[in-house]
Amino acid sequence: MTKSELIEKLAQKQTQLTYKDVEFAVKTLTEQMAQTLASGERIEIRGFGSFSLHYRPPRIGRNPKTGDAVSLSGKYVPHFKPGKELRERVNGSDS
């Protein structure tokens, strides 16, 4: 399912909203989520999961073309931990 298919599905169900509204709402939410992580903050959605940043320490990498060593500085990468409800539903074990 892509973002536009998600918009499509929500538009069919949220009949009080226009397609344009749903499209804007989905874009607003995904941008807010991305912006939150970009500012170093966590996201916690009960029943879905949480997003946080994991630190990757500085390391010496290599240019795969030339073999030259390049020093890479430390960085943060987004991490997702699925919540209980999502874990159970995806595994077909909700009982």
Number of C-beta neighbours around residue 26 at 10 A = 16
**Quick one: 67 or 92, whose CB is closer to another protein?**
92
- Three-state DSSP class for residue 91: coil
**Quick one: 55 or 63, whose CB is closer to another protein?**
55
**Quick one: 36 or 67, whose CB is closer to another protein?**
36
**In the numeric block, which tokens belong to residue 26?**
């989905």
Q: Does 61 bind another protein (CB under 8 A)?
A: no
Closest CA to 26 of 53, 34, 38: 34
Binding mask 7-46 for another protein (x = CB under 8 A): --xx--xx-xx---x--xxx-xxxxxxx-xxxxxxxxxxx
**C-alpha span between 34 and 26 (Å, rounded):** 12
**Quick one: 66 or 91, whose CB is closer to another protein?**
91
Q: Are 70 and 58 in contact (CB under 8 A)?
A: no
The residues that touch another protein, with contacts defined as CB under 8 A, are 1-3, 6, 9-10, 13-14, 16-17, 21, 24-26, 28-34, 36-51, 53, 55, 73-80, 82, 85-87, 89-93
